[in-house]
Chains A and B, each alone.
Chain A
Amino acid sequence: NAGVMQNPRHLVRRRGQEARLRCSPMKGHSHVYWYRQLPEEGLKFMVYLQKENIIDESGMPKERFSAEFPKEGPSILRIQQVVRGDSAAYFCASSPPLSGNGYTFGSGTRLTVV
């Protein structure tokens, strides 16, 4: 089991470009969570998805950010028209349904906006 796979590990984008971050959950995990970690801060919940459904997007900025978890393929976090303030580490985690055992995290994608 390869664990939660995120790619790319590092992503550099110029202001105004789009950033696409990918997350493949662990085998057997149908729940995906995205978190953002700004410098010197803890992880902030962004969105929780199940296959083809967004369950909770209460932590997503209202504009420019979107997430999906299609029936086939990885979950995608998309940031349009990136700005310097989007520079952060973005972590994906997955879990089985109704697990009380916590998440399994990916290694994260470090986005740098220049």
Chain B
Amino acid sequence: AQRVTQPEKLLSVFKGAPVELKCNYSYSGSPELFWYVQYSRQRLQLLLRHISRESIKGFTADLNKGETSFHLKKPFAQEEDSAMYYCALSISGGYNKLIFGAGTRLAVHP
């Protein structure tokens, strides 16, 4: 069965510290993976998708098929990065059905 696991409910760091939000997935097909972010009282926004291999707001994520992971990283956290982060898996089949992880709350302290 398809599944996305985000093992940490809360990640608390100080400003300037490196951040890694973990995401592991379970899917036998060819995965497409995304990171979504939800800032306080705002809608979910797409942060990253693995196929574009881009860096948004200093965040990067690399798909590791061997470890079935798609961890989100940022070398120096900022206070404005505090938000809920969701990892999502798109399963193939001709449309974008997304399987979400439970989310990790990132709290960046001054």
Contact B43 A42, beta carbon cutoff 8 Å: no
Contact B46 A103, beta carbon cutoff 8 Å: yes
Contact A100 B97, beta carbon cutoff 8 Å: no
The answer to whether A33 and B101 touch (CB under 8 A), given A100-B51, A105-B44, A106-B43, is no
- CA distance in complex: A40, B48 (Å): 23
**Of B6, B32, B34, B95, which one neighbours A55 at CB under 8 angstroms?**
B95
Does B74 have its Cβ within 8 Å of any Cβ on chain A?
no
Does A28 have its Cβ within 8 Å of any Cβ on chain B?
no
Residues from chain B with a CB closer than 8 A to the CB of A104 are: 46
Min CB distance, B74 to chain A, in Å? 20
How many CB-defined contacts (below 8 Å) exist between A and B? 65
Residues from chain A with a CB closer than 8 A to the CB of B45 are: 105
- CA distance in complex: A98, B95 (Å): 5
How many B residues are at the interface, by size bracket? 20 to 34
Min CB distance, A10 to chain B, in Å? 12
Does A85 have its Cβ within 8 Å of any Cβ on chain B?
no
Contact A31 B43, beta carbon cutoff 8 Å: no
Residue total for A at the interface (Cβ-Cβ under 8 A)? 27
Contact A42 B34, beta carbon cutoff 8 Å: no
Chain B residues at the A interface, C-beta cutoff of 8 Å: 4, 6, 9, 32, 34, 36, 42-46, 49, 51, 86, 88, 90, 94-103
Chain A residues at the B interface, C-beta cutoff of 8 Å: 4, 31, 33, 35, 40-45, 48, 55-56, 91, 95, 97-108
A selection of 9 A-B contacts at a CB cut-off of 8 Å is A42-B4, A42-B86, A42-B102, A45-B97, A45-B100, A91-B43, A95-B96, A104-B46, A108-B43
